[in-house]
Structure 1
Amino acid sequence: MEVEAEVLSAYIQDQSQFVLVDARTVEEFEAGHIDGASNLPLGDFDEMSEHLTLKRDEVVLVYCKSGTRAKKLANKLSAADYKRVRVIPSHQLKFIDGEVIFASLE
């Protein structure tokens, strides 16, 4: 379910191909997140799931700091019939002074 480095590289070059979702809390998201990401905290999924604007067939890339919440959220999205959900592995991200950036994909 993890996104491959090549697919992540494509995202970085053309963000219109994917929807980026941050699974962290609202407070963590507000402290810093990847540009263009939407916040869907894992803990809020059940109450927010009926109001999601995601299309069930679009590619959804989910991330968090360690990967644990992202994997759990990705499983919930998949169970809710979202077909193309992938997790960005934590080693492909850097969390520096409240900022979240993509790590080198080389």
Structure 2
Amino acid sequence: MERIKPADFQVLHQKEDITILDVREVDEFQAGHIEGALNAPLSTLDKGYEQLDASKRYYVICQGGMRSERACQFLETKGFDVVNVEGGMNQWKA
């Protein structure tokens, strides 16, 4: 699984139009998220992944990095191109 460090993710986010998949629960997402991020909670990803575009590369983020790791593992088995954002929102600096 590919991973990206928080500082590298920040730079990439500023330079490129990337697709961010936030796998936190809806209430966590609504409390604050990266602008433009899609919300697909890990708890419902087994069904929700069907709504995702398999041709895109997703940068997967959660609060601390554990749920995004599990989400990436799952999505990879479904053929998705994913990158786990290490440290999650705990490391995000808007």
> Unpaired runs of 5+ in structure 1?
96-100
The root-mean-square deviation of aligned C-alpha atoms, in Å, is 2.1
Q: Select the structure that is richer in helix.
A: 2
TM-score normalised over the length of structure 2? 0.82
**Residues of 2 paired with 1:49 and 1:63: CA distance?**
15
Aligned residues: 92
TM-score normalised over the length of structure 1? 0.74
The corresponding residue for 1:98 is: none
How does 1:1-106 map onto structure 2 within 5 Å? 1-4=2-5, 5-6=7-8, 8-14=10-16, 16=17, 18-52=18-52, 54-56=53-55, 58-82=56-80, 84-90=81-87, 93-94=89-90, 101-102=92-93
Bigger radius of gyration, 1 or 2?
Answer: 1
> Unpaired runs of 5+ in structure 2?
none
Q: Greater relative contact order: 1 or 2 (C-alpha under 8 angstroms, separation 6 or more)?
A: 2
Q: What do the CA deviations read for 1:26-52 (whole angstroms, capped 9, x no partner)?
A: 010011101110101000111212222
**Residues of 2 paired with 1:63 and 1:37: CA distance?**
9
